[in-house]
Structure 1
């Protein structure tokens, strides 16, 4: 049936009904979406959760804390550490124990964990969490202790003193000891000497030294001719990628025998000259 054949009042009623239905269908999804918009998820995460390091080097983790709620949150940073371990948190380089985040805000947190020197070689689980008044965000970190680095520098006999004469040279044996469990690499020795002294080393570098092993380095020490007799100090320093050590030496310089005889001869000549002068001019 054509709508034109219907009475005018009925046609107007149908038209108004269609307008109401169209308006209701168009606006209902919008209102429903506004009511059902989900909130964000808060999260405490790290780029790497498993890090290997030597026992005497820190474990450094880069973490991210996100407040997914609509309200401001103050998160207190807490951890459960093995006995003797230490932890610190930094935000923008400053030490912190808590972080204040606005709704939807994210902050980067640098976490540094240090193991005691006697920590066994194995994997340790480090539970960390960010706690606010309404949220607890856990983060499980893993610190793998793979061994230790350490070195000492001395002599095979333990003696750290030598005697030299002015103008002479002497060979000194230094002993490098890897006191850790991990290998050391690119080890070299340098010296701090009095002005004018010289030192050369053989070998000049130790490429690799396994844990617990020792190596010997020969030092040739040269003293200038005009060095005054007395006590001097010299320091030899071991440097490498993962360890360093020092050996302070006491060096006693004595006058050479030749220099002593020359001095005696000069004194004798001076006495003889005075005697001749006295004999020559004393009779007048």
Structure 2
């Protein structure tokens, strides 16, 4: 018997087993596809702060042979809000053709005083007598918060034109979660300068505060009056703003110089009147 014949016989002997294995794989895939739930979420559990929005990406499939309209609802903790969005639009129901799947974005907004912990939120897609349920979890890890002020709480200062003024700023973590990388920025009148030392707070524990030294420089010849300077502290999770009223005053030297100029002008007028007024 040749080697080719022997190899052919081995293949023929194994063929039934290969066919059985192929049938089992095809059957398993079919059963798995049929048994997959029609209402699913990419992430079932999300952890975030109470003053943020919990965002879930879900898919809802219509397995019926006809188009159906699904009514959407969620059993929320007291005070929470929910929004269902399809293609960026808020909806309360969605029409899905037979065999098609709709992408639904579900947003939960907790109350600011929600306590830390895990919250189970059942979501329902109701159509006729059929009720498709999806169990989502929102884990509250605390709240983000920051405030910006001065040691005395006073948000107004006097400064002389052409001089500098040092201001003490107090940044406080008013939330229950530590804050990282808090940056300071300022909006000042034209040609004014406001610098911070340090320029960034790398870490601030919950309930803690830190003091920043701000140096304000007012250019020469700034007109006397009130000016607004806005200071902002922010990171990716929270922010706060303080509006300072800066009153610019004229320097004593400038005042005396102005008085001298006025007196000289008056003297010149008097001299001209005395000299030419007699003619």
TM range (shorter): 0.7 to 0.9
Q: Which has the larger radius of gyration?
A: 1
State whether residues 166 and 254 of structure 1, in contact with CA within 8 Å, keep that contact through their aligned partners in structure 2: yes
Q: Report the equivalent of 2:171.
A: 176
Q: Report the equivalent of 2:113.
A: 118
Q: Which of 134, 138, 141 in structure 2 is aligned with 1:139?
A: 134
Q: CA deviation at 1:178?
A: 0.8
CA distance in 2, matches of 1:129, 1:155: 50
Judge which range, 214-223 or 266-275, deviates more: 266-275
Q: Report the equivalent of 1:259.
A: 254
State whether residues 184 and 241 of structure 1, in contact with CA within 8 Å, keep that contact through their aligned partners in structure 2: no
Q: Report the equivalent of 2:52.
A: 57
Q: RMSD in angstroms over aligned alpha carbons?
A: 2.0
The 5 A counterparts of 1:1-284 are 40=34, 43-277=38-272
Q: CA deviation at 1:276?
A: 4.7
CA distance in 2, matches of 1:102, 1:198: 62
Q: CA deviation at 1:46?
A: 0.8
Going from structure 1 to structure 2, the CA distance change for 1:281 and 1:68 (only over 3 Å counts) comes to closer
Q: Report the equivalent of 1:14.
A: none
CA deviations on 1:101-150 (whole Å, 9 max, x unpaired) are 22221111111011001101000000111111142111110000000001
TM-score for the superposition, normalised by structure 2: 0.83
> 1:100 is paired with a residue of what secondary structure?
strand
CA distance in 2, matches of 1:76, 1:83: 21
Count of aligned residue pairs for this structure pair: 248
> 2:254 is paired with a residue of what secondary structure?
helix
CA deviations on 1:241-264 (whole Å, 9 max, x unpaired) are 211111111111111000011112
TM-score for the superposition, normalised by structure 1: 0.82
CA distance in 2, matches of 1:260, 1:232: 20
Q: CA deviation at 1:171?
A: 0.3
Structure 1 residue runs of 4 or more that deviate by more than 6 Å after TM superposition: none
